[in-house]
A = this chain, B = another copy of it.
Amino acid sequence: MGHKDHHQTKFIPSNAPTSRTAKFKNRQGLIEATLQALSDLGYANASVSEIIKRARLSRGMIHLHFGSKDNLVIETAKHASERYHAFLETCLKCAGPSPQEQVEAIVKHDLSEDVLNATSVRVWYELRGAIYFQKELASYSDTRDERLRNVLFHLFIQLLETYGLKEATQENAEDVTFAFLALMEGMWTDYLLHQNGFQRENAKRSVFRFLQTLFPDHFDLTGAKLT
């Protein structure tokens, strides 16, 4: 049971064997169904009825596990956020240690089908809209949260330093981080608005051209880091 436990404890510490498992499954089922409903219908129309229809679970379950629909949405946002960051973390670990490799990993992650897909983008968009009124959501749904921003800032500092710019590297790196994050955000919005016409490859090339212009010694259009 030990290793399984490990698998689960992130959310619900298991101390009773079976019912906890079922409970966990139902919890997860509701969260997945909520993601689906948000994606299919938008926040405004993702009603309890629509969620349980997708979860094939009973009506009372939502209040049993989450207390309220609002809470379920908050937990769903946490879940999505954790999923996003966990995957990003993996990507960063797998990538080489050089700044250009790390940045490249972030780009490829953010534009990958795992992250930039119809469901995911819709859900993020809807959850962000809800942040405004569900302040509790705020801390969870901001992808470019401080951690990522810091990581990027330091990567860009390192890259900029190789170009021997004596002055204003700090401010420059801030601007580049800001622009880079905005660029990635903008790609998501574009994907949302032009789902049919969106070309993943064009987006990638466009980002790498942006990086190439800034750091001609480190990036090229193939998205391969230059050594």
Residue positions of A touching B, CB distance < 8 A: 1, 4-5, 8-9, 17-19, 21-22, 25, 41-45, 122, 125-126, 128-133, 138, 142, 144, 172, 174-176, 178-179, 181-187, 189-190, 192-193, 202-203, 205-207, 209-210, 213-214
Q: How many copies does the complex hold?
A: 4
B209 near A42 (CB under 8 angstroms)? no
Q: Which of B8, B43, B207, B214 contacts A19 (CB 8 A)?
A: B8
A209 near B5 (CB under 8 angstroms)? no
Q: Which of B1, B126, B172, B182 contacts A183 (CB 8 A)?
A: B182
A206 near B18 (CB under 8 angstroms)? no
Shortest CB-to-CB span from A186 to chain B, Å, is: 3
A17 near B1 (CB under 8 angstroms)? yes
Residues of B within 8 A of A25 (CB): 9
Shortest CB-to-CB span from A80 to chain B, Å, is: 15
Nearest residue (CB) in B for A195 is: B132
Nearest residue (CB) in B for A176 is: B209
Tell me whether A202 and B175 are in contact in the complex, defined as CB-CB below 8 angstroms, given that A130-B44, A133-B45, A213-B214 are known contacts.
yes
Cα(A131)–Cα(B174), bound, Å: 34
A182 near B187 (CB under 8 angstroms)? yes
What would be 26 A-B contacts, judged by CB atoms less than 8 Å apart?
A: A1-B21, A5-B19, A8-B19, A9-B25, A41-B133, A42-B130, A42-B133, A43-B44, A44-B130, A125-B129, A128-B189, A128-B193, A144-B190, A172-B209, A174-B202, A175-B209, A176-B206, A176-B209, A179-B210, A181-B186, A182-B185, A183-B183, A183-B186, A186-B186, A186-B189, A210-B210
Residues of B within 8 A of A133 (CB): 41-42, 45
Shortest CB-to-CB span from A200 to chain B, Å, is: 12
The 9 closest A-B CB pairs, nearest first, are: A182-B186, A185-B186, A44-B44, A186-B186, A175-B206, A5-B18, A4-B18, A178-B206, A185-B189
